[in-house]
Amino acid sequence: MTQPVFTGNFTQQEPIPETAIEAAVAVMRSGRLHRYNTAPGEDGEVAHLEEEFAAYVGARYCLAVASGGYAMGAALRALGVGPGDKVLSNGFTLAPVPGAIASVNAEPVFVETTEDLTIDLDDLAAKAGCGAKVLLLSHMRGHICDMDRLMQICDGAGIAVVEDCAHTMGGAWRDVPSGRHGVFGCYSTQTYKHINSGEGGFLVSDDPELMARAVMLSGSYMLFGRHRASPPVDTFENVKYVTPNVSGRMDNLRAAVLRAQLADLPAQIARWNALYHEVEDGLRNTPGLKVIERPPEESIVGSSIQVLLPGIAPAAIEAVVAGCVARGVELKWFGAPEPVAFTSRYDSWRYAPAQNLPRTDAILAGLLDMRLPLTFTTDDARLIAEIIRDEVRKQVS
């Protein structure tokens, strides 16, 4: 009997909305792409986007920047992190997170990971005395830990929390938006994130002096008074001459592309979650496969899904991945001997001191990851789950 095959594309995004295209064309026709190149009486697309994103997440201040990685680096610089400083972070994350730490010549201290794919709070508590003054917390692949306990640990140890929300824009813990627990929230608008400008990002905070430093770092050329979602102008007096320009501004073209997408984001999240739950339900109770159950306190954005194949031999996992690929389903395995695309692990980042995370190693050994583009339908999601289930059963029966 012929096996069903999926024919969709795991990297194809939806088209940019027509309203966003029209806004972008208007910016191009004006020629005023630089955020500070505006006509008299005009605030510009970037300034309006910052206001709208600040309102969306409930932050006082927002800065639109060139990438999510830049946002993290700017947050660390604004907090005064420098050469030789220790910065706590997840053992399970993507390379831009330790990359941001390395960009200020600081030293990552990796924290173990739980089977829920969140930072291990017991290990965090044990490492809170390592001398680090900052935790760069990655909500990796959209999984949010118990933020109440995390903040209790960090507040008690005098550790500032910077949240990497590249995978959780629109997510929340106990109805508090992702990025709003720590002193800074960092977001990405890279193509595979929740709103798409190719590259781009946001930095949000309620702290006026920290945000003033971030604005200066981004390269404001003393034009900070033109920002609308920014601290009062007098806040800049103490920082404007002592904060270096590490240029990383967003431009008006990308902001124009993003504004319509931000307005559509709640509806897009509902679509992602419908796909996620369709795959999740289809995989639940598959022998040898563990679905990662999401806690009720977490509001998710299901733009990708992860499952575990605990205790299964590497050769069998390779066979599952190969069998799925042959039937059109692209899975990424974090336990492969060599990193592929975004599957690099903490032991791949050799610019960081060598560290030992046995619990994280055991989890990543059986971790499979898959994108869920909005070009998929719920029927597609059902078929994808059926294919994965079939291929796992072949190896564990």
Contact 47, 35 (CB under 8 A): yes
CATH number at residue 184: 3.40.640.10
The whole-angstrom separation of Cα 361 and Cα 29 is: 52
Q: What's the token pair of residue 164? A: 């990497």
Of all residues in the chain, what percent carry a pLDDT higher than 70? Answer: 100
Residue 1: per-residue pLDDT? 65
Q: 186, 328, 189: which is closest to 255 by C-alpha?
A: 189
Query: For residue 39, is pLDDT > 90?
Result: yes
One domain for residues 223 and 358: no
Residue 397: per-residue pLDDT? 74
Say if 302 falls within a structural domain.
yes
One domain for residues 143 and 127: yes
Q: Tokens 């399970």 sit at which residue?
A: 92
The whole-angstrom separation of Cα 356 and Cα 362 is: 12
Q: What is the pTM of this model?
A: 0.97
In the predicted model, what is the mean pLDDT of residues 391-397? 93
Cα–chain center distance at 96: 10
Say if 6 falls within a structural domain.
no
Give the phi and the psi of residue 104 in degrees, each rounded to 5: -105, 15
Q: 246, 328, 260, 224: which is closest to 66 by C-alpha?
A: 246
CATH number at residue 378: 3.90.1150.10
In the predicted model, what is the mean pLDDT of residues 360-388? 98
Q: What is the pLDDT of residues 58-92, one digit of tens each?
A: 999 999 999 999 999 999 999 999 999 999 999 99
Q: Give the dihedral of Cα atoms 251, 160, 102, 137; nearest 10 deg.
A: -80
One domain for residues 369 and 386: yes
CA 174, 177, 183, 187 dihedral sign is positive
One domain for residues 303 and 243: no
Q: What is the pLDDT of residues 107-152, one digit of tens each?
A: 999 999 999 999 999 999 999 999 999 999 999 999 999 999 999 9
Contact 6, 327 (CB under 8 A): yes
Q: What is the pLDDT of residues 265-288, one digit of tens each?
A: 999 999 999 999 999 999 999 999
Residue 341: per-residue pLDDT? 78
One domain for residues 106 and 237: yes
Q: Of the residues 259, 285, 304, which one is the last residue of a structural domain?
A: 259
